[in-house]
Structure 1
Amino acid sequence: MQVSSPDVIGRKEELGTLDSALAGARTGRGGAVFLVADAGLGKSRLVRECITLAGDRGMAVLRGRATQAGATVPFRPLTEALFSIVRSGAVPDDPDLAPYRPALGRLIPEWRAGVPYEGDDSLVVLAESVLRLLSVVGRDRGALICLGDLQDCDAETMSIVEYLVDNLADQPVLLLASTRSAPSPALSLAQSSARHRVAQLLELGPLTDDQVDELAAACLGVDAGELPEGVARWLRQSADGNPFVVEELLRGGIATGALARTDTGWRMVENVPRDMPSTVASSVNDRARRLGPQWHRALQAAAIIGRRFPLAALQRVSGLTDDELHALVRAGTEAQLLEPSYSSPDWCTFCHTWTAEALASGVLPAERRALAAAAATAVESLFPELPDELCQLAARLRLATGDEPSAGMLYATAGRRALSAGAAASAERLLDRALELIPAHSHATARAEVLESLLYALTEAGDVEQALRRGADLYGSTLLAPEQRAELLTRLAWVCVVGGHWDKAAEQVALARRLLATCTAPSRLAPLDVVEAHLLTLAGSQGDDQATRAEELALRAVRTAEEVPLPATACQGRQVLALLARRHSFDDADVHLRHMFATADAHGLPIWRLRAQIRLATNELMRTGEAEQILLARQAAFALGAVTAGAQADATVAMQQVLFCEFAQAESLADKLWETTTRMHQESESQFCLVIKIAAQAHQGRREAMRVVLAEFRAHGGEQSFHAPVVFGHRAICALLGEDRPGAEAEMARVREWERTHPTIYYQSGRYGLGVLLEVLAGRAGRELLVETCAAPAAQLRWNLQFVLAAEAVLLGREKDAAAASARMADAQVAATPFPMGRHLVLRLVAEAALADGWGEPVDWLRAAEQHFHGVDVAAIAGACRAMLRKAGVRVMQRRTGIGAVPQQLAGRGVTAREFEVLTLLGERRANPEIAKLLFISPRTVEKHVASLLGKLGSADRRELSELVAELYL
């Protein structure tokens, strides 16, 4: 008899919470709910009810569960969940998802297209990919993803779950996760997420006595009032409010005759012990025995294998035929002992953890060891490669037989596989377990190899501190040869370089050098040379000595690596050589990058090939202003699944869009990048998104809007980052558009000071372009600075070139060579063709000098500049152009912003457009002379406007006028 309640008893409040959460996900207000409870209290039942509610709403449903495998299986719950939706064909072919499909191939084999994933191996990228997939699946209908038994979950899956919890608030997705109430990472996440109000926590307690009665009546198909008092008292005393135990006791009572149905209803039978079966274990075993001795023994063998077991292994251990095996699964399912696995048809699962534990508890220790040995042999013979979780299953079974060395070797194999799959944290756990089990005295070599793999896992996981501690132990160890230890220390040094830990990188390089002191094999030295070259280039002051040393090391490494070959080392070396070559020639840098591309292509290193392609495209973009190559590189990045590299290409494109005056496109792309990079905690990339937005406002002369973004930039530590000089350069542009020449010159001075003490990262910050023109215009520099600047390859980058050529034109004009000056100015305008704002800014700046020195066509230049800046509503510089035209004797039509720009409450009091301009500047606490300069009127006229405003607005003084402006913009 099936004994279960058709209704959920005692969980009305929890069901209401889940119903509301589903409704929120349907409208794009997703989130996460954690179900926390001890075994048997109803987590699984609530999950099933939630799935039913979601299905009734037409929502997409994904479901996965972690398993007890002795050690965790990376990504298993997510893989199972994503299988359920992908195999149903419910994933649309959405272009927004395309860049993330390669990364998702780590979880969905059908999306691998037979090619190993070679993109970003960051768990953050994978987490973002899962989030994007869920968002696409849930678009227009909502999605529910259920992840169960997270107390048994691997660290990688927990990282992704944490990422989802933090980022589902504005997605059409509800995450429902369940875990036991015993301490675990999953429980910690549930509790911390609830404290921070990014998830809801539902903790299930035991049922009350009345709820136990209600549940029992529902299971027996009667009204609660019809439940005999003896039955109710028996269940209240024995079940402790646990729904699973209630149902098990009822099943056992009916099966043993202690509970019988009569014509008048259910009753407890006299002379039959009412506590039979007194425990869940005896209830489960009694039910299994009733299937027959053969089935009972087979189920016990299955329980020894684990709650989830491969049917083929069970068949080999139990000796069942195919028909008998299928009959066992059917009988076990009908008896509510087993659940067939629809996601993995060759596996089966016990209905509950207690079910497997109860059956295993009836097996004597000696028989348990024998069954475990037979099961391990069966698994290893049936699946010689031991794929996926079978390797850990075999390890756990060998451990159950007492064979610790064999178990340790299997855990080591599983750990190496997890590492190759990008699951570094799981690999670390498995390899640590292997070290515990493999004896040092008889398996020294094997332990050394495991230790080596563990160190790789730690570096891949980014646990630099732990890796360094292990590395310190390794340095003095005799388990590995000095060359092997040096190789691992070199890898540690590279991790430190990538992470910006310069001092620690230098320490590892020094230790590795000592170990290789007597080594003459170039192939051993090349990887270390490359790391040290990067360290000298990125962390040093870039003085001539350091740069020369870095170049020598990199060249030596590249020659060796290309001969051996060591393709990855060769690519690393070419990368640093290209960076060093930029100081002398971007063409030389491209030569190294093309070598890097060819090496990566020849040896099947797609990520290194992509890195070369992006750097080549970036150089081309800066040289010519042509974006075709960077767009192709971006496309290649997303095709490969290199999301981080694709985002870097996007950032380059967005910054160039600012220079092209495509401000809306640039800010839209920057906003998308900001959303992704902040979600993925990519601090430097997020800072650069703000740099793009600062530049967009600066190049439109929007000083106040720029200041708002600047404040956010400072809050994110931007002024201490490598992005600082480019921000100074764009602030100089904004100052010039506001006719604040001293302010622009001060910003250029900050750029020069920064780059004096820091390695040059940005070549378009102004030092090699705008700054030179400003120095020449101010009369502080002449041919010497120009010659020095032109000797730098950065001066030939197209954005810089327009300013450098204009500076030379000004000098030629001062030297009274009008024809040469005009020709050079024409060259500057050709260079400035892609940059509308830059081109007209040069016209405005150079026209002043041309008027003074009598060369060129300054009137035409000023007219063009005035028309452009008036058209884009940059009033200060447009007004300056009109003022200079008048000074040159040219009649200029007055242009003013219309009365429609004046707020209604001010216009109603008679405030004019000009008075509103004055009032706005008063709000910025500007003095009369400064206002006069900005509006190109006399200080006396400003005084008249201020007096008029005081009268019209009833203000007592300038302070009240300033406060009025502040109120207008609240």
Structure 2
Amino acid sequence: MPHAKLWPVETQFVSPVFVGRTEELQALKDALARADAGEPQALLLGGEAGVGKTRLVEEFAQHAVRAGAVVALGGCVEIGADGLPYAPFSTALRALRHELPAELADAAQGQEEDLARLLPELGTTATGRYDDENGIARLFELTARLLERVSADRTVVLALEDLHWADASTRHLLAYLLRTLRTGRLVVLATYRADDIHRRHPLRPLLAELDRLRTVRRIELGRFTRAEVGRQIAGILAAEPDPAQVDAIFERSDGNAFFVEELAVASHEGCAAQLTDTLRDLLLVRVEALPETAQRVARIVAEGGSTVEYRLLAAVAGLPEDDLIEALRAAVNASILTPAPGGDGYRFRHSLVREAVGDDLLPGERSRLNRAYAEALQADPGLVPADVLVMRLASYWYHANDPAKALPAVLDASVAARRRHAHSEQLRLLERAMELWDAVPENVRATLRPVDYTEVYPPCGCDPDTKALSYLDLMAEAAVAGRLCGERERALKITKRALRLLEGEGDPLRAAWFWIQRARLIQAQARGDGWQEIATAQELVRGTPPSEVHAEVLATVASWAMVRSPGPEAMTAAERAVEYARMVGATEIELNARLTLGGLLVEAGEGGTGLAVMKEVREQSLALGVPSVIGRSHINLGSVLVGVGRAEEALDVLQDGLRITRERGLRDSEAWIWANLAEALICLGRWDEAVEAADSARRTGQVAKPRGCAAHCLGTIALARGQLADAARHLADARASYGTHDPMPQNNLPVTRLAIAFAAAEGRLLDARAELTRTLDTGFQPGTQRYAWPVLLDAAVAEADARTLPVAQDGRAETLERLFSAVKTLTTDAPIWHAYDQWTRAELRRAEGETPVDLWSAVVAAFEQLQRPYDLARVRHRLAEALLTTGGEEDRAPAAELLRVAHAVAEHLGARPLADEVTSLAQRARLPLTAEASPRPAADGLGLTTREHDVLRLVSAGRTNRQIAEELFISPKTASVHVSNILAKLGVAGRGEAAAVAHRLGLFTTEDGERVGAG
């Protein structure tokens, strides 16, 4: 087979006949066929140790290769108790690179520095800030994209074995991959030992999470039946077995395929009688039958890890090469050891045997072997691949029980893990270093330098090149690693212990740094807004000279305030952060602080200056390649442009941001950009595209708040389209996504606006007022006008629409007064804010029963300068209403044109409530909405004119002459004349009889769609 080198060579101890597993193998073949058709497949294969998972995978791999697929195998590595970060993915990508070198190079083009964290052969690993929160997500996204591209034209099977040994980073990457794969001819197949997954095993939550994904299929491999055991034995012995022998082996093995092999071979070699009933004896019987030298080599291999390289094994064994070869040959012929894939070393044919041999080692023997491995690697690092050297040394020295040698090795391994964004492993290694710390002699610790092992150096007046590494340095690294890998509870405990150690130490900068970490962790844990911790840090750095920590604290203060309480203090903090960051050369902090400053300037009314600053930061972050600022600059600039009414310009920024963030794997930034794009598209009247963008935000984001923004956008569209049930669901989703632990105006005010509009649409005016009252009682922070204006507008619209309802009268005057007062407090520096101001004032006048044509004309003129077709249609409808109410005959033509255009927009957008309102107004005013429209003919042969037909409809609904006059834009006297004419034509004495005639004839339709008179 062209890809056979990916698979180990089996011996005569394994049945050449593939037994059973018909359904399971067919399921894998079906998945391959679907993948070949362009639908990525994900499968989890579980079963107890020895049940035959690897054999099934091998059989499937051979079928896939024959079908033209490329198969890449990656196995999770166990070295003692330590897994290597991303080991199965690195191995599989290396195999893919060997099989498809050109395709993988093309797929990785431009992202080699990031992807080198998984596959060092691609180039030098990219560098970045120590606390790059996007680093893991970027690596995961780029890996997913790489696999999609590689499998675009060629079916690829990615097989990951022994997931029960997987490190946390591997588990997280696999989960991400299975959640996000959407394209490519790819099959991802992962195996695990089901019997090893105890209640606290770290794989258990991942399996539970993947079970909830409809795209993942889970296959459980059971034991063999007696008939299958018989066929397996026949294959091993190359002869039909005695039925009694089959019965005995089936009973003792209980159908476990590996135990069947061991028992069959033992029985064939005549040692069955010597076996006890213990599993250990069954696994060790053939090991103990080896020559003593071969047994010793097997013990050395057992302690070396899943695979031991030949040269390393030779160095540790210390045997003459001929003796070593003979010992290995004996172990391979006995099917104890087997050459590793690639032929570079040896491993146990089955991990159960390795575990049994390892468990049989004496405590002193185990530590001696680990020391021998460590010393061999230190003497000749080239004995193992460079990318695994530090991890292997860390494990060997640790298990050799030599703290002085283990501490620097463990610290080296933590650095390697950090560079690969394997922060879970970095945290575990740092915790191991802290465990070793007190056992290491002081003179050894004094030789360690933070510059060699850490990226986090909160300045404390010492040169990191000469300063000795401290316990607090390790705690700082561990706190950041815990936050980045999601182990926030552990990180919080570390920061608490660190701050306790710092009490009375006179190191305000380091203490401030830890308080900032606590603030971020508390926010991420939804335990609060983090302000108390940030304020403590700010107080600690007050009066200290410029430093990176000081700049970071000020930048954090400014960014916190920007989205919660923007104002002069936030502006000052941002300006000082920029100044201090420049002085100490902290470029990333400076860029982030300038971006914050630009947003604050816009909100303060200095739109031109603020936008110029934000655009400059965007260009600089792209030129310098700073991922966190690249994503944030597109998010914030796009959002601010939408907020000041420049949605078309925002669209260009956001679409460019989508391209850049997708190329760079900035998935959470991409989610925010999708959400902001949805908002821009709503403003521009491209609602179907906005729905797609919001759905993309919900699918893409790994954090809650972009999903909340997307839900708000979907709720806004659903409400405008009259889809109240959908609007209610999206409103609930937005509230759940934003939570209550960290209130922000940019989240809370849009949700409040949607809640007010939704309550009004359902006729729940009092609920709408309650929402408004809670917001007005809290007040609007300076700089929040972009979110506050829509709240006041929708509240004013609700009051105006309900002005004639009895429920609206109680408390109405107070509500309108509060709204008028609130309007006066908000700034109108941007054209959109000025337009909202005029619109809100016009609605408040309408709520008082006034319809000022001049004010509505000004509102329409303001919105005609903006690219907001839906808002323009709404205010045109109101201007037409004002013209028809207070104008003369000469105003009917302009009103008709306003209604025609507004109706066309509403129909195009699917805004059914607005379309119905416009239609109703046009009908009442006897105005055509289209050029083809014509007056309705006299009703039902009764001799009624079109106007009399309208009046009869209102009479039937119980309206008084004054109410009829208001709805039809006629005088009460004219309404009375129409009523008299109707009574005469119908030959009835009063309004009640006229309504009865209309009811009997079924002339009109009720609000629920039934014809009056239908029953």
TM-score by length of 2: 0.72
Match of 1:566 in 2: 586
Tell me the distance in 2 between the aligned counterparts of 1:739 and 1:249. 75
Do structure 1's residue 549 and structure 2's residue 583 form an aligned pair? no
- Is the counterpart of residue 687 in structure 1 residue 685 in structure 2? no
What residue in structure 2 maps to residue 78 of structure 1?
89
Aligned position for 2:396: 397
Whole-angstrom CA distance in 1 between matches of 2:478 and 2:434: 9
Matched, 1:6 2:22: no
Correspondence for 2:56 among 30, 46, 56: 46
Residue 407 of structure 2: aligned partner: 408
- Residue deviations 1:723-763 (CA, integer Å, cap 9, x gap): 45335657888999x99999999799579738825686671
State the partner residue of 1:904. Answer: none
Q: 1:864 maps to what in 2? A: 897
What is the percent sequence identity of the aligned residues? 21
Contact 2:752 2:771 in 1 (8 A): yes
Paired with 1:936 and 1:61, the residues of 2 have a C-alpha distance of 77
The one-letter amino acid paired with 1:796 is P
- Corresponding residue SS for 1:71: coil
Of the structure 1 ranges 102-111 and 457-466, higher mean CA displacement relative to structure 2 is found in 102-111
Q: Are 2:160 and 2:191, in contact at CA under 8 Å, matched by a contact in 1?
A: yes
Letter in 2 for 1:378: A
Show the counterpart of 1:672: 696
Aligned equivalent of 2:258, options 227, 236, 244: 244
Structure 1 equivalent of residue 717 of structure 2: 696
> How much has 1:688 moved relative to structure 2?
1.9
Aligned partner of 1:307 in structure 2 is 306
The 3-state SS of whatever aligns with 1:532 is helix
Q: 2 CA distance for matches of 1:94 and 1:306?
A: 31
Q: In the alignment, what sits opposite 1:450?
A: 474
The change in CA–CA distance for 1:32 and 1:963 in structure 2 (over 3 A counts) is: farther
Please state how far the C-alpha of 1:377 moved relative to its aligned partner: 2.3
Secondary structure of the equivalent of 1:389? helix
> Which residues of 2 match residues 309-708 of structure 1 at below 5 A?
309-318=308-317, 336-342=335-341, 346=344, 348-357=346-355, 369-383=367-381, 387-439=386-438, 442-443=441-442, 445=469, 447-477=471-501, 482-483=507-508, 485-496=510-521, 499=524, 503=528, 505-509=530-534, 512=537, 523-540=548-565, 547-581=567-601, 582-593=603-614, 596-597=617-618, 600=621, 605-621=626-642, 622-624=644-646, 625-626=648-649, 627-677=651-701, 680=702, 682-698=703-719, 701-703=720-722, 705-708=723-726
Residue 403 of structure 1 deviates from its aligned partner by 1.0
- Give the Cα–Cα distance (whole angstroms) in 1 for the partners of residues 339 and 616 of structure 2: 55
Q: CA deviation at 1:393?
A: 1.4
Compared CA separation, residues 960 and 91, structure 1 to 2 (3 A) = farther
Q: Is the 8 A contact 1:19 1:50 kept in 2?
A: yes
Q: CA deviation at 1:68?
A: 0.6
Q: Deviations along 1:350-377, whole A, 9 cap, x unmatched?
A: 3222444566678777666554333212
What SS class does the counterpart of residue 68 from structure 1 fall into? coil
How many Å apart are 1:4 and its aligned residue?
1.4
Give distance in 2, aligned partners of 1:761 and 1:143. 51
Q: Which residue of 1 aligns with 2:939?
A: none
SS in 2 for 1:177: strand
Q: Per-residue CA shift, 1:388-423, capped at 9, x if unaligned?
A: 432221122223433133223322332233234322
Partners of 1:140 and 1:933 in 2: CA distance: 69
Amino acid at match of 2:237: L
CA deviation map 1:870-899 (0-9, x unaligned)? 435367656766777799897877978999
Distance, in Å, in 1 between the alignment partners of 2:167 and 2:59 is 26
How far, CA to CA, are the matches of 2:108 and 2:482 in structure 1? Answer: 31
Secondary structure in 1 matching 2:191: strand
For residues 894-933 of structure 1, the aligned pairs below 5 Å read none
Quick one: which of 832, 844, 865 aligns to 1:831? Answer: 865
- Name the amino acid aligned to 1:472: K
Letter in 2 for 1:792: T
Please tell me whether residue 227 in structure 1 is matched to residue 242 in structure 2: yes
Alpha carbons 1:840, 1:864 under 8 Å: kept: no
Which residue is equivalent to 1:159? Answer: 172
**What CA distance in whole angstroms lies between the structure 2 residues aligned with 1:555 and 1:864?**
52
Residues 30 and 173 in structure 1, CA contact (< 8 A), matched pair in contact too: yes
Residue 779 of structure 2 corresponds to residue 756 of structure 1: yes
Quote the offset at 1:632 in angstroms. Answer: 2.3
Partner-residue secondary structure (3-state), 2:530: helix
- Aligned-partner Cα distance in 2 for 1:781–1:275: 92
1:428 shift after superposition:
1.9
Secondary structure of residue in 1 paired with 2:501: coil
Residues 397-452 of structure 1: per-residue CA shift (max 9 Å, x gap): 22343313322332233223323432222222222222223325734755443233
**Equivalent pair of 2:430/2:478 in contact (CA under 8 Å):** yes
**2:76 aligned residue:** 66
- Which letter maps to 2:261? E
Pairing partner for 2:100 from 66, 86, 89: 89
Q: Aligned partners of 1:23, 1:389: CA distance in 2, in Å?
A: 36
CA distance in 2 between counterparts of 1:606 and 1:773 reads 43
- CA–CA distance in structure 1, aligned partners of residues 934 and 296 of structure 2: 92
The alpha-carbon deviation at position 220 of structure 1 amounts to 0.9
Aligned partners of 1:425, 1:640: CA distance in 2, in Å? 22
2 CA distance for matches of 1:32 and 1:375?
38
Amino acid at match of 1:258: G
Cα shift readout 1:87-146 (whole Å, capped 9, x = no counterpart): 543998999999999976653557778645898636566656666666677779986543
- Structure-2 separation of matches of 1:491 and 1:577: 20
Return the letter of the residue paired with 2:283.
V
- Once the two structures are TM-superposed, the CA of residue 781 in structure 1 deviates from its matched residue by 9.7
| Uncovered stretches (5+) of structure 2, i.e. residues with no partner | 1-10, 446-468, 804-812, 846-851, 937-949, 983-990
Residue 652 to residue 365, structure 1, CA distance change in 2 (3 Å): closer
Q: In 2 relative to 1, CA 248–656 (structure 1 residues): closer, same or farther, beyond 3 Å?
A: same
**SS across alignment from 2:568:** helix
Aligned with residue 792 of structure 1, among 828, 832, 843 = 828
For residues 558-612 of structure 1, what are the alpha-carbon distances to aligned partners after superposition, in whole Å with 9 as ceiling and x for unaligned? 2222111222332343343334322332233335435645775686533224423
CA distance in 2, matches of 1:134, 1:949: 69
Measured against aligned partners, the alpha-carbon deviations of 1:748-796 in whole angstroms (never above 9, x if no partner) come to: 9579738825686671664499569979999979999899588433x32
Superposition TM-score, scaled by structure 1 size? 0.75
Please name the residue that 2:732 is paired with: 714
CA contact (8 A) 2:114 2:125 kept: no
Preserved CA contact (<8 Å) 2:681 2:690: yes
Q: Which residue identity is paired with 2:712?
A: V
2: distance between equivalents of 1:932 and 1:176?
A: 75
One-letter identity of the residue aligned with 2:672: Q
Q: Which moved more, 1:713-722 or 1:142-151?
A: 713-722
Cα distance, 1:56 vs. partner? 5.8
Post-superposition offset of 1:655: 1.9
CA distance in 1, matches of 2:193, 2:817: 71
CA drift at 1:66: 0.8
Number of residue equivalences: 900
Q: Partner residue of 1:258?
A: 270
Task: Please say if residues 862 and 881 of structure 1, whose CA atoms lie closer than 8 Å, have aligned partners that are also in contact.
Answer: no
Structure 2 residue aligned with 1:179: 193
CA shift at 1:642, angstroms? Answer: 1.3
The residue matched to 2:779 in structure 1 has which SS?
A: helix
